[in-house]
Structure 1
Amino acid sequence: MLLGQLSSAASPLSAEQVQKLQGLVAELNPIQQAWVSGYLAANANTAVLDSVTPSIQANEAASLTILYGSQTGNAKGVATQLKAQAESRGLTVKLVNMSDYKPNNLKKEKFISVVVSTYGEGEPPEDAENLHEFLYSKKAPKLEGVKVAILGLGDSSYEFFCKTAQDFEQRFTELGAQTVFARADLDVDYEGEANIWLTGALDAFEPELKAQSAGSAQVIPMPGVAAITSQYNKQKPFSAELSIVQKITGRDSTKDVRHVEISLEGSDLTYTAGDSLGVYFLNDETLVDEVLSLLSIDTAIDIKLGDKALNIRQALIENLELTQSYPTFVEKFASATNNSELAKIAEDKTTLREFIESRQIFDIIRQYPAKLEAQYLVDCLRKLQPRLYSIASSQSEVEEEVHLTIGLVEFEAFGSEHLGGCSGYLAKRAEEGTLVKVFIEHNDNFRLPADTNTPILMVGPGTGIAPFRAFLQEREASEAQGENWLFFGNPHFTQDFLYQVELQSYLKSGVLSKLDVAFSRDQAQKIYVQDKLRKNGAEVYAWLEKGAHFYVCGDANRMAKDVHQALLDIIQEFGGKSEEDAQAYLKELRNQNRYQKDVY
């Protein structure tokens, strides 16, 4: 019997257990399914021998609650590190995603650590939205006696750097909580400083936690199976072969979009539809040589990068950020070169952000060349950060491969062609067969429904189609019975219909129940995906009412906001709700994980 056809009547499981089992298996590839099957069989045979009940005394140990809100997985990773380090000290810890945390429990807490990222225009990540809103509401409880430590992760190239962490600290303080360790706002190159902060925060928490735990329960841990984790991660990426890089937009398209296939053969990397792939890239060697020449730096010189000695040219190609500009580079470079004009620009935040918006680091060095020692240049730069791409394949379909849909970033500025760091590398410089360093970034906030009978609506214009290609492959592989409706948009039908043949095949086979396309430049009046949503408003609302999950992937600044507003309009018009009730309706969809976004 296929799992999708399993019912509680035909098994010893309850309806809820069947749904949970279907949801788990939908996230596993065939190898993982086989392992779990064997493990469960062995576990059932030894259940009687392992039926030792842990003894717990009446008093519970004082616990440190770690709350994390993560958009791309970095905050979750740091929070997990904090948990591991706390447990290594013998402390009791609860690690909770903010989306799973009941805000009313705040009044029961005594020790809290918050690890949270910021995205967009100073907004909390989606899984932190409810707790953030609750803290700023009249329902927020007094928190006298609560001890807190807060860590923020962000990107200083954005204006509202680590604002969410600052918001949390402000509200905790206003509600009476005591900060036991100073908040840190960490940039993209956060790993070293994060470790220092974790140690300091635990040093602050530990004495009182242990004092309150004295004489309390000691839990006898049950024997179990350690979680299987890959040996490869962001700090230790896998060297994977770049198999295929194929342009999938037409010759006359205004966009250059590439379908990329990467082999994971020889690794133990697994992923679920909705996850992202982190890709490390190499900077353009020609531009690196130009930088060295403009700064009169000898290419043979060695420099220090952390605790390693590297050749300066190698470091600039492999290890340091030279495309994406950010404020601290301008400030440090102005100081290192004693450039008064650049220093003046750096003094005014508004002027500085306007300056870096149109410039890559290459451009700044071209505009302000100077003789500079190699180590000074290195000290101005931050480490190269991997780029994250939504995975465009299901491992159930492609097995030891991973597919991406990458839009090449290219533009003319200051008299020369400019390319994005990673997209330029993959599309223009890396040849098929090249080894690229990659890792999987799991995204628990962008998942198919556990019940494969649930209908889904997907809105993915442009390269936002990527995760929905993975969703469709997964729904087909799992023989899901739920309906699938895709909204796709791009400028022109003839040039920009990404994965057209595949989508039409899914329509023909019935995997894709409905496909609505918006080619904005094919008629006098521009039509976008939000317009298609409104045109189908009655049916969209009907799908939501029958339990559909709604997904959005793509541009955060305009498209996602326009789609959100279209949804509000649809709910008001076809649900007969006020604007306030429509907002509440969407909020409840988010709370139920039925409205999920993967936006950038």
Structure 2
Amino acid sequence: MLLRSDLPSDLFEDLDFAVFGLGDSSYEKFCWPAKLLARRLVSLGANEVCERGEGDEQHHLGIDGALISWLEKLSTSLLELFPLPSGVEVSLDGNSLPPPRVSMVPEVDASPNETNLFPPEYHFATLISNERTTSQDWYQDVRHIEFEFDQDISYEPGDVAVIHPEVGAAEVDSFIIDLGYANDADTLFRIQHTQPDQSLPDHMPTTLTLRQLFTRFLDITAIPRRSFFSYLRHFATNDLETEKIEEFLSEEGADDLYEYTTLVHRTIREVIADFRSVRIPKEYFFDVFPPLRPREFSIACSNLEHRRRIQLCVAIVQYRTKLKLPRMGVTTTYLASLSPGTRIMVGIKPGGLIRLPNDPSTPIICVGPGTGIAPIRSVLEQRIFQGSTENTLYQGCRSAQSDHHYKDQFEDYAKKDAMTYRVAFSRDGPPGEKRIYVQDMISQDSKRVSELLYEKDAWVIISGYA
């Protein structure tokens, strides 16, 4: 509507507004939607009460690098525009503790019923297979994971499986001890809102224990943001710890906070272990700790062949921080720990990024490096199941012996003339020689690729490495 050219120039003459954009300065049109919106509103007579803010993901403090100072400017502008009554003051430094969003009351003779809390796109699934596809001596653990559902399910190439992870029992136990709630870890509490319009983690029952809460619903493995320390300062009882938190929250201490948390990937659990005097009332858990969010994984098979199953190609996240501390991805570690026969809830969600030609005879060119081969495999399975032979795959791997995902299946397709198969092993060449990547093979095949694109109107599907 705002883009219509026939709108009167005084349409929003009674509107006051402020805009803070989110962007990444590595892109040419940095914060472009925010700029366009602000300019258009002004051209329609609106009054911009505060200079536009631009959050930059490239800033070492993230969007907070610009947001904190902009919020102060906005608060000042709003107070000038809407003065407070005489005798009323407002704190701009965030020192006041807001009320908690929930109350937590001990519950007797109750138990959570979590199944009914999942929306219709979630289904019970049984783990059928959890096999490592990379060699044991390879630095990366990649798994082929297969789930079977109780009924037929529907999905398309490019769709994703949604997995809600669980944090390891040892981590949860030590965290609850550090919080000072060891004696209440298995007490059942009823969660009740104390303020309207306050969201809680998805699929959370109204009654649960603290152990369940930190295992499945609140994220103790996340890197804490500045807002986390804004709450923490109210619950520290040691003067030195309080002073350190205040230092982190000051404008001068922003770099120290970044070095303490983001730079070394220090988690919430580790921060709580460092600040031992902190005692957070359980009613504030949902204000202090972020929700443990689900993760999405590309489905690596075709629904035409697997009516009740999905297959995933998952790289297990493992690395060391700058402090040489081991780190593991929450969801991938959870998936790797599951044994065949385990039943969990799995969601199926449209991916929206892959579209196939309606005519199976239309050629496609697929490019899939690393675990990016997952959605490409679903595309090829579906096309070949439909009888198509106009398929080309450029697969990128590091080593033929170590991480050649789905080698047998793709070579079998090629032998049956169902597709043309080209694979680049970037680390298998002699030392000192130029490494070969998928783009090099496409360049080598430039004549054929050109014919497919310009004479046969081939489609190209590229799936990035993850």
Q: CA deviation at 1:544?
A: 2.5
Aligned counterpart in structure 2 of residue 404 of structure 1, from 289, 312, 325: 312
Residue identity opposite 2:436 in structure 1? I
Q: Structure 1 stretch 454-463 or stretch 244-253: which is displaced more?
A: 454-463
| 1:356 aligned onto 2:240 | no
Distance 2:127 2:133 in 1: 17
Q: If each structure's helix is expressed as a fraction of its own residues, which one has the higher value?
A: 1
What amino acid is aligned across from residue 517 of structure 1 in structure 2?
A
Question: Superposed, which structure 2 residues align to 1:229-308 within 5 Å?
Answer: 237-266=122-151, 269-298=153-182, 299-301=185-187, 305=191, 307=193, 308=206
Tell me the distance in 1 between the aligned counterparts of 2:350 and 2:45. 33
In structure 2, how many angstroms separate the alpha carbons of the residues matched to 1:376 and 1:511? 58
* Unaligned residue ranges in structure 2 (runs of 5+): 25-29, 55-115, 194-205, 237-241
Q: Is the 8 A contact 1:278 1:389 kept in 2?
A: yes
Deviation at 1:256, TM superposition (A): 0.3
Q: Does 2:376 correspond to 1:468? A: yes
Corresponding residue number in structure 2 for 1:434: 342
One of 384, 396, 409 as aligned partner of 1:489: 396
Q: State the Cα distance separating 1:451 from its structure 2 match.
A: 2.5
Look up the equivalent residue of 1:261 and give its one-letter code. E
Q: Which amino acid letter does the alignment assign opposite residue 282 of structure 1?
A: E
| Cα distance in 2, alignment partners of residues 150 and 478 from structure 1 | 53
Provide the rounded CA distance (Å) in 2 between the counterparts of 1:494 and 1:334.
50
Cα distance, 1:272 vs structure 2: 0.3
Q: Determine which of 512, 516, 521 is the counterpart of 2:423.
A: 516
Structure 2 residue 360 is matched with structure 1 residue 452: yes
Q: CA deviation at 1:432?
A: 1.7
* Secondary structure in structure 1 of the residue aligned to 2:409: helix
Residues 161 and 347 in structure 2, CA contact (< 8 A), matched pair in contact too: yes
CA contact (8 A) 2:21 2:34 kept: no
Aligned residues of 1:491 and 1:522 also touching (Cα < 8 A): no
Please state whether the residue corresponding to 1:314 is helix, strand or coil: helix
CA distance in 2, matches of 1:321, 1:309: 18
Distance 1:512 1:282, change over 3 A: same
| Distance in 2 (alpha carbons) for counterparts of 1:153 and 1:400 | 43
Query: What corresponds to 2:243 in structure 1?
Result: 340
Instruction: Report how many residues are paired.
Output: 369
Instruction: Report deviation, 1:375.
Output: 3.1
How far apart are the structure 2 equivalents of 1:155 and 1:497?
36
Counterpart code for 1:540: V
SS in 2 for 1:523: coil
* Contact 1:301–1:311 (CA under 8 A) maintained in structure 2: yes
Where does structure 1 lack aligned partners over 5 or more consecutive residues?
A: 1-64, 66-104, 111-141, 157-161, 186-230, 556-599
Are 2:21 and 2:31, in contact at CA under 8 Å, matched by a contact in 1? Answer: no
| Contact 1:265/1:401, CA 8 A, preserved across alignment | no
Matches within 5 A, 1:388-403: 388-403=296-311
Shift of 1:167: 4.8
Q: Look up the SS of the partner of 1:554 in the other structure.
A: coil
Instruction: Tell me the SS of whatever aligns to 1:495.
Output: coil
Amino acid at match of 1:314: Q
Q: SS in structure 1 opposite 2:292?
A: coil
Q: Distance in 1 between matches of 2:436 and 2:191?
A: 50
**SS in structure 2 at match of 1:460:** strand
Match of 2:437 among 488, 511, 528: 528
Q: Does 1:374 align with 2:282?
A: yes
Highest RCO, 1 vs 2 (Cα 8 Å, sep ≥ 6) = 2
Q: Say whether residues 1:418 and 2:303 are aligned partners.
A: no
Give the TM-score taking structure 2 as reference length: 0.68
TM-score, normalised by the number of residues in structure 1: 0.54
User: Identity across aligned pairs (percent)?
Assistant: 23
RMSD: 3.9
Query: For the residues of structure 1 that align with 2:128 and 2:146, how far apart are their CA atoms?
Result: 5
> What does the per-residue CA deviation read over 1:115-148, in whole Å, with 9 as the maximum and x for residues that have no partner?
xxxxxxxxxxxxxxxxxxxxxxxxxxx9874899
Structure 1 residue 300 displacement after superposition: 3.7
Following TM superposition, by how much is the alpha carbon of 1:410 offset from its aligned partner in structure 2, in angstroms? Answer: 1.1
Give CA-to-partner distance per residue, 1:342-370, whole Å, 9 cap, x none: 44335466654552252333333333333
Q: Which deviates further from its counterpart, 522-531 or 438-447?
A: 522-531
Q: 1:498 to 1:320 in 2, by over 3 A?
A: same
Structure 2 counterpart of 1:170, from 32, 38, 47: 38
Structure 1 residue 279: deviation in Å?
0.8
